[in-house]
Chain A
Amino acid sequence: MKLILLLWQREGISIIRNTFQIIILSTIFLLGTYAIYYGYSKITEQQKTINNVQQIEKEEFESYKESFYSDHTLVKEKQLFDIASKPAYAWYRHGYHAILNPHSLAHMSLGQRDIEPYYYKLTGTSLYYQLFQIELANPLKLYAGNFDLSFVLIYLFPLLIIAFTYGLYAEEKENGMLPLLRLQTIGLRKILLIRIGFYYVLIVGSGILLSSIGFLVSRELEVLSIFLWISAILCYFSFWFALMFLLISLKKNSSLTAISAASLWLLFLIVLPAVLNVYANLVYPIDNTSIADVTRRRSLENEDDLNEAKAVVLEYLQNRNDLKEADSLIGVNTMAKAYAAFTALNDNHHRKEVSSYFYQVRRRQKKISLFRWANPAVNTQGILNEIVETDSGIFQSFYQSIESFHKGITSFYFDKLFLNQEITKKDYETLPEFNLNIDVTTRNHTIRSGLMEILVTTFLLFGISLVLFNKTTF
């Protein structure tokens, strides 16, 4: 213990004296603070939009409810009451919002939240007409990516680890200190490990400190998420330390060690993922051109033909056993029913194409995720996104939940429309609600196995390094 303290004290002094190391540490810390600020401002902006759309929805439905109390003498009052109470007007006008609320730690790893829409306005009209709209964004900004805390931890902290450790052995040799160290009673490997330990504590401590700032600015503290986040960065940093220990164990000169470390950084952070993305483009291309057509606003072939309208309604009712008595009510509001039936049938008709598109998306992501274990950087990014619910998986769940929400909306209005029932004030207490269905078990399993994969790689590297160190000579 005394030896550890002595060596750590020496390393501490050397850091204080080394302006370059102080500058690099401070710079990364400052960048980390900016990253938290950026992530936080981005999420705050999204939260504002969410509050705004929720307010719009609330006001819209409040006005419908209030219309039940007005005397409907004015045209506008009558119109509003019709929209509020008659399903024939209401089903394509009442706007609901499906919202993917940000996780309390989403600002720390923005993930796909800037690419994927996080809210949708839905009415009873065709789901696919409404599903594929995208959020406004600057493509160059999307290309550059987010400067959030996960970027700092995943891209910049390994550089810190490299900068602090690459010369731990070689520089002693190059400065002529190695013979002196060899004279000591304790082994070189032990000295090296103690010194690496110092930087491990320093860098992991800095990572946790930065993360803690991120935790503190969050709206609420979720213990499990915080625990998982810290575990993820511990595993990731441990991997880089183990990798550096391996490079040091090869006992090459400091320049070659630095070049090798920089090359590995490049390999894990840029080359491997970039190659893999291109490979995925080749092997699992996603054809979105084939489903563009499903977003088309379609209508009946002959909108003035009552018989055609009735036929469409009957076709729809064939699949709705719960609305059997609606057949006899077809004469009332026929065109409104026909249009509603047509959009539902149209969605049914295109369901297969849309499912096939989402299948392509899922297959590509699944196949690519098989390579995650081989790249701890990609693995950690995935884990961090999964912890704070900004990963692509959560958006898949969001889409699926939207489908069932839309089903709920159409049922609510269509049932009343086809059964010639009015929407009453009481019905406003049981309006359809959006529920996000997430498979928490699978998500937790993915996070756990991701962490295990990084740990196993780390221990493997560490074990090899321990053996190599004594075998290689400088």
Chain B
Amino acid sequence: MKRQVFLITGKELKGMARQNSLKILFAIIIILLGFALYAGHIAYKQQQIMVERAQKERRAEWLGQGNKHPHIAAHYGTYVFKPKTLLSLFDFGLDTYTGTSVYLEAHYPHEFMFRPAQGYGNMIRFGELSAALVLQLLLPLLIIFITFQTFTKEKKTGTLKLLVSQGVSIRSIYLGKVLAYSLIIFVIIVLFFMGLYIVGVYEKTSTMISDMGLRILLLFFVYAGYLWVFTNFSVWISLKSSSARNALLTLLIFWIATGIIIPKTSANLGETLYSLPSTKIYKEAIQNDIVNGMNPNDTREKRIARLKEHYLQQYGVDSLNQLPLNFEGIRMQEGEEYANKVYDFHDATLYKKIELQNRMGSLMGFFAPYIAVRNLSMAFAATDWYSFNDFQKKTNTYRRHLIRTMNNDMAKNSRYGEFYEYKVGKNLWKTISDFKYLVPKVTMIFKYYWMEIVSLSLWVLIMFFIIPSSSKNKLI
């Protein structure tokens, strides 16, 4: 049987090599892949230069802000810019739709600013050409074009009957064909991911991702699985269809439904079911909780009164002036801590809603393998929502550390009632180290994408089940 399978594979490959239209289509795909990778690399370099320069400038500003009161320095604050990960040259993911910089100052944990899509105009909604897009949408279409008539043609010309009458099973023919198409796809993606790895090794400047090799390997497996599913499914549809036209229409409908319609509808449906508040309402709720407290009897005034009482008792003194610490610094930090608690609570609620919205898409991955691949691809390229969220959390931690350092210095070293009289300088600013970001290990994000992994595995498994059994030749 093995020999029969290989013979069929050889015949299919020869047949494809003779078709000029297929050669052109393959050439187009390879050119697009190459262009996408090249353009992704340029965009990555451009962004890297911009971010590094801006980050350096802001760092110099922080260190060179002169002598001032630490609280004024906390308001002066600094900025963090979101660098692009090296693998974003393969999959831009959500980079165009997440903010790129954030202002870190006392009292106000600002949102990220400047979504690149804001300046890109109407056309950005049609998408950007990345290598991931080519592999996710265009290559499957090419698979459809090369496979839709693989069985129907044999049926029409009568060669299928001839083959079966010579003792070749439908299973062998099927496997031979799948093997032939898979081989071509396999060669394309092996070469492509090897190229990506070489670019990754060459770009030594990127220290953000520590497990580049593993991530590229995972990307390879995900795409290999996905494209194998598409190949197998297309051949199966061709086997089951009465005519080439029916096979083509069925496959095109599948491609459009799973690649265009379902991803968009599920995202929109998720948003309808779990709608997000407007910034205004969200911020107001936070401010309300900060001022009036998250629990009754926890208003700002009462919190301050309790804090004051606590410190007076702790140090056994009658007035704030007698404290060995500047109570204003203590109060400010306590205010920050409470605000952090409020922000954490509201952020968690907001992120939960976003996760629920996204889960709608993940669920749809069981019907549309494209969604599973798209999400996993972004995740492995560290351009997904969780990676952005991780970056956001780390900037938040950095901000809290910066403000805490300023408030603690004020509490320890200045006196109650004095403000402009107390000034610090570079020695304090230097204790805040520059912001450095390291993408979490890829193994840390599996837990967020179990549904995608299961759905894609299921699709792969189903493809094994639909392979015709060796005993059945009734389909002709």
Q: What is the interface of chain A, defined by CB distance below 8 A to chain B?
A: 20, 24, 31, 34, 38, 41, 45-46, 49, 52-53, 56, 111-112, 115-117, 119, 121, 132-147, 151, 155-156, 159, 163, 167, 171, 254-255, 258-259, 262, 266, 269-271, 273-282, 285-290, 292-293, 295-299, 301-304, 360-361, 364-365, 368-369, 377-378, 381-382, 385, 391-392
Which residues of chain B from 217 to 241 have a CB within 8 Å of any chain A CB?
none
10 further A-B pairs in the complex, CB-CB below 8 A; given A38-B268, A278-B40: A111-B125, A115-B97, A134-B118, A138-B276, A141-B270, A259-B145, A262-B141, A275-B35, A381-B123, A392-B120
| Most chain B CB within a 10 A radius of its CB, from A259, A292, A299, A361 | A292
Bound Cα distance from A56 to B54, whole angstroms: 38
- Which residues of A lie under 8 Å from residue B121 when comparing CB positions? 364-365, 368-369, 392
Is B119 touching A360 in the complex (CB atoms < 8 A)?
Answer: yes
Q: What is the interface of chain B, defined by CB distance below 8 A to chain A?
A: 32, 35-36, 39-40, 42-43, 46, 50-51, 53-54, 57-58, 61, 66, 72, 75-77, 79, 81, 93-94, 96-101, 103, 105, 110-130, 133, 137-138, 141, 145, 148-149, 244-245, 248-249, 252-253, 256, 260-261, 263-268, 270-272, 275-282, 350, 354, 357-358, 361, 384-385, 388, 420
Other-chain residue from B111, B123, B256 in contact with A133 (beta carbon distance below 8 A):
B111
Is B113 touching A292 in the complex (CB atoms < 8 A)?
Answer: yes
Is A289 touching B256 in the complex (CB atoms < 8 A)?
Answer: no
Is A289 touching B66 in the complex (CB atoms < 8 A)?
Answer: no
Q: A49-B278, A275-B35 are in contact. Are A281 and B126 (CB under 8 A)?
A: no
Q: A258-B252, A289-B54 are in contact. Are A274 and B101 (CB under 8 A)?
A: no
Bound Cα distance from A132 to B361, whole angstroms: 30
Q: How many A-B residue pairs have CB under 8 A?
A: 259
Is B76 touching A298 in the complex (CB atoms < 8 A)?
Answer: yes
Q: A138-B354, A288-B119, A364-B121 are in contact. Are A270 and B81 (CB under 8 A)?
A: no
Other-chain residue from B39, B51, B76, B112 in contact with A281 (beta carbon distance below 8 A):
B39
- Which residues of A lie under 8 Å from residue B51 when comparing CB positions? 289
**Secondary structure dominating the interface of B:** helix
The 6 residue pairs across chains A and B that have the minimum distance between CB atoms: A273-B126, A144-B267, A304-B420, A289-B54, A274-B129, A288-B114
- Which residues of B lie under 8 Å from residue A281 when comparing CB positions? 39, 42-43, 46, 128
Bound Cα distance from A245 to B153, whole angstroms: 26
- Which residues of A lie under 8 Å from residue B118 when comparing CB positions? 112, 115-116, 134, 361
Min C-beta distance of B37 to chain A, whole Å: 11
Is A20 touching B249 in the complex (CB atoms < 8 A)?
Answer: yes
Min C-beta distance of A252 to chain B, whole Å: 11
- Which residues of A lie under 8 Å from residue B267 when comparing CB positions? 140-141, 143-145, 147
- Which residues of B lie under 8 Å from residue A258 when comparing CB positions? 245, 248-249, 252
Is B280 touching A299 in the complex (CB atoms < 8 A)?
Answer: no
Q: A147-B268, A293-B79, A303-B72 are in contact. Are A271 and B129 (CB under 8 A)?
A: yes
Bound Cα distance from A143 to B270, whole angstroms: 13
| Most chain A CB within a 10 A radius of its CB, from B97, B111, B122, B267 | B122
